[in-house]
């Protein structure tokens, strides 16, 4: 990429060359050569070149993959690296063809922050230009394209005068892979099947954070040669789910009816897992739809299983079921539903998604510090005492949900909880949440800071959330 005036520079250079042909004095020749050289080097610093020189201290940059599973992992390509100074200004953007290659540049002594994105080609994504880049800049998926094997890394480095430095960026996968959706024993009268997974994160930043909470992916299944099996072999890269996702199956039949079943998961879909969905559709004597979601090695293995009575299917848009059997019409935000507070009430393609906050919270929870297994056990064991009967699928809030409260506190909470007879959540409260990587962390509503859980903390509260789907 060149400055908009580069074409004008070329005209100037051409004119100068013509002058050189007429004036042959040594002084004029040297002057013209200097000007030509100066103008020819007016390229934009965002050109992703390998000749960045901003000082006398050499920095060598390498990348490596960090795998949480047993399988070896290589860094996706291409690799784009952004270099920021201590003031947060992006100095340059550089590219690496693969993890076997290194990038070199010369910088002044000082502190620098480096962010890298791997797997984001120019065909699939629009990356921020160097002069506009910040760690919060979005890596935007281009229209009509699918996500690739996205990885990110971040590291700081301090350069000392007269000393060269080596830096290795540890790349971590930021997507999951939905490998397939398979349904067996489908009735003969079914003419089409689709499966929608939502909500998913919509975007990712240079720093590896996620944003946007309304993403989804719909798959169309195809009838197989045996006539009763339907499959979508997709191998799709997807951003993680926002909290616990739902999968909505839509069956269209030959008599023109539409049957809908929505499964609300008990846990989130996190990055670096391969996920397959296997559904066994059983009619007649045992009208049950049985579905399992299997996570296989990237980072490990996981199995999700649920049973759903066929009588709970909605037909022609009526009565969706989510495992907690919501009654009546969807409640409005800011009201109370079955003893819990309605934080959100959002219309979707398949109904109204309602987000609830439990009526009470708990602090001073004891667990082993820095031990996620101990933390999760302590929090989930405490959760049943904080909720009302009649609602299932209670969970920890997501980071996006707590950010939503923090940014809109007066409008969505304020004194509403107290007015409804529920335990107050103060503006300065700190709450546990489940991060997109599957770990439990703490969030401050006052300033948006994220920190590690401390055992027996009097200032951090467990406050369960739940999601219900109403189809009216």
CB 138 within 8 A of CB 205: yes
Tell me the C-alpha to C-alpha distance, in Å, between residue 119 and each of 95, 316, 346: 12, 42, 34
Burial class for 128, CB neighbours closer than 10 Å (0-12, 13-18, 19+)? buried
Q: Return the H-helix or E-strand segment holding 138.
A: strand 138-141
- Residue 233: the pLDDT is 85
What pLDDT does residue 287 have? 45
CATH class of residue range 57-173: mainly beta
User: In this structure, how many other beta carbons lie within 10 angstroms of the beta carbon of residue 98?
Assistant: 13
Would the CATH topology of 57-173 be identical to that of 176-321?
Answer: yes
Burial 428-440 (b: 16+ CB within 10 A, else e): ebbbbbbbbbbeb
- What is the distance between the alpha carbons of residues 395 and 214, in angstroms, rounded to a whole number? 19
Q: What share of the chain is helix, strand, coil (3-state, %, to 5)?
A: 15, 40, 45
2.40.50, 2.60.40, 3.40.1800, 3.20.20: CATH of 176-321: 2.60.40
Kind of pairing between the strands at 314-315 and 165-173: unpaired
- Distance between alpha carbon 288 and the CA centroid of its chain, in Å? 33
Residue ranges per domain, the chain?
A: 6-40, 57-173, 176-321, 355-470
The pLDDT profile of the chain, 472 residues, written as one tens digit per residue, is: 333 444 444 444 444 445 444 444 444 444 444 443 433 333 333 434 445 667 788 899 989 887 665 566 788 999 999 999 999 999 999 988 888 888 888 999 999 999 999 999 999 999 999 999 999 999 999 988 999 999 999 999 999 998 889 999 999 999 999 999 988 888 999 999 999 999 999 999 999 999 888 899 999 999 999 999 999 988 899 999 998 898 889 999 998 888 888 877 878 898 998 888 888 886 654 445 666 666 555 664 344 444 444 544 555 543 333 334 455 788 999 999 999 999 999 887 767 889 999 999 999 999 998 888 889 888 988 988 998 877 877 889 999 999 999 999 999 999 999 999 999 999 999 999 988 777 899 999 999 999 999 999 999 999 999 888 887 6
SS3 labels along 22-35: HCCCHHHHHHHHHH
Between the alpha carbon of residue 36 and those of residues 13, 14, 32, 39, 54, the distances in Å are 6, 9, 6, 5, 22
How far apart CA 178 and CA 176 sit, in angstroms, is 7
Contact 249, 153 (CB under 8 A): no
Q: Which residues touch 270 (CB under 8 Å, ≥6 apart)?
A: 176, 240, 241, 299, 436, 437, 438
């Amino acid at each position: 990429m060149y400055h908009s005036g580069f074409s004008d520079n070329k005209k100037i250079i051409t004119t100068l060359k013509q002058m050189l042909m007429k004036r042959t004095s040594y002084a004029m020749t040297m002057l013209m050569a200097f000007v030509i050289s100066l103008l020819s080097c007016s390229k934009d610093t965002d050109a992703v070149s390998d000749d960045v020189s901003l000082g006398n201290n050499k920095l060598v940059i390498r990348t490596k993959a960090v795998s949480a599973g047993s399988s070896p992992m290589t860094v996706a390509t291409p690799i784009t690296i952004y270099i920021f100074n201590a003031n947060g200004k992006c100095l340059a953007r550089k590219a690496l063809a693969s993890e076997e290659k290194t990038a070199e540049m010369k910088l002044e002594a000082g502190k620098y922050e480096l962010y890298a994105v791997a797997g984001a080609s120019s065909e699939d994504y629009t990356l921020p230009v160097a002069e506009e880049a910040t760690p919060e800049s979005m890596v935007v998926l281009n229209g009509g394209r699918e996500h690739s094997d996205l990885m990110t890394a971040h590291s700081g480095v301090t350069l000392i005068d007269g000393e060269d430095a080596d830096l290795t960026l540890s790349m971590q996968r930021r997507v999951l892979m939905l490998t397939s959706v398979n349904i067996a024993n489908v009735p003969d009268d079914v003419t089409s099947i689709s499966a929608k997974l939502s909500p998913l994160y919509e975007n990712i930043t240079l720093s590896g954070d996620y944003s946007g909470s309304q993403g989804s992916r719909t798959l169309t299944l195809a009838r197989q040669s045996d006539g009763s099996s339907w499959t979508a072999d997709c191998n799709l890269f997807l951003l993680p789910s926002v909290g616990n996702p739902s999968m909505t199956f839509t069956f269209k039949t030959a008599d023109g009816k539409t049957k809908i079943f929505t499964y609300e998961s008990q846990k989130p879909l996190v990055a670096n897992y391969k996920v397959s969905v296997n559904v066994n559709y059983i009619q007649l004597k045992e009208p049950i739809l049985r579905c399992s979601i299997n996570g296989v090695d990237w980072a490990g293995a996981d199995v999700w299983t649920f049973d759903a009575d066929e009588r709970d299917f909605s037909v022609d848009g009526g009565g969706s079921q989510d495992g907690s059997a919501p009654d009546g019409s969807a409640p409005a935000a800011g009201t109370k539903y079955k003893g819990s507070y309605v934080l959100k009430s959002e219309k979707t393609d398949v109904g109204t998604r309602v987000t609830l906050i439990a009526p009470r919270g708990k602090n001073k929870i004891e667990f082993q510090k820095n031990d996620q297994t101990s933390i999760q056990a302590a929090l989930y064991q405490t959760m049943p005492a904080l909720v009302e009967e009649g609602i299932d699928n209670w969970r920890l809030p997501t980071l996006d949900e707590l950010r939503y409260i923090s940014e809109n506190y007066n409008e969505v909470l304020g004194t509403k909880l107290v007015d409804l007879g529920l335990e107050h959540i103060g503006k300065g409260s700190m709450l546990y949440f489940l991060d997109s990587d599957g770990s439990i962390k703490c969030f401050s509503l006052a300033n948006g800071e994220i920190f590690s859980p401390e055992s027996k903390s009097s200032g951090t509260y467990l406050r369960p959330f739940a999601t219900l789907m109403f189809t009216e």
